[in-house]
Amino acid sequence: MSKLLVRIISAAVVFLFSQTVIVTAQEAARNFEPVAAEFENSCASCHGEDGKGAGFLTRVFRGVDPGDLTQLAANNDGQFPSDKVFQVIDGRAEVAAHGDRKMPVWGDRYWERSMTEYGPDELNRQRARSRVLELVYYLQSIQE
């Protein structure tokens, strides 16, 4: 086969592959739905399966009101406060308006889990951030 024909076939294969990847990525983005798994694993024990604040640990930690997470937008003039929710869940930055911190610092926990699972790695910060963002996205989806 001539070199020109090999180049044309190679270019066609690369073009077809790139189109498949683009379509697959677009389809995945269009079909991305919030998943409750991270919430159930990390939050439901205090906030309840439905996010309304009646988790089983509220019987252990008497006097601690985890709050109704389905009302975050309603309590913020109808706008979901995604930045503040991220900061509160992540917990590594001080959120003065939040008051005393009774909630775990999930950013540190997720970071430590990534370090344990993957070792020292430049992606651990993104892994921890992704888990927090997954929770923020899920909480946004359960607003009433």
Sign, CA dihedral 42-43-44-49, equals negative
One domain for residues 64 and 105: yes
One domain for residues 72 and 133: yes
* Triad 100, 50, 132: Cα angle to 5°: 55
pLDDT digits (tens, 9 = 90+) for 130-140: 999 999 999 99
One domain for residues 61 and 92: yes
pLDDT digits (tens, 9 = 90+) for 105-127: 888 899 899 999 999 888 998 99
SS3 track for 90-130: HCCCCCHHHCCCCCCCHHHHHHHHHHHHHCCCCCHHHHHHH
Q: Tell me what the mean pLDDT of segment 6-16 comes to.
A: 60
With b meaning 16 or more CB within 10 Å and e meaning fewer, what string describes 71-101? ebbeeeeeebbeeebbbbbbbeeeeeeeeee
pTM: 0.73
Sign, CA dihedral 48-127-115-106, equals negative
One domain for residues 55 and 102: yes
One domain for residues 11 and 67: no
Question: Structural domain of residue 86, as residue ranges?
Answer: 34-141
- Our count of domains for the chain comes to 2
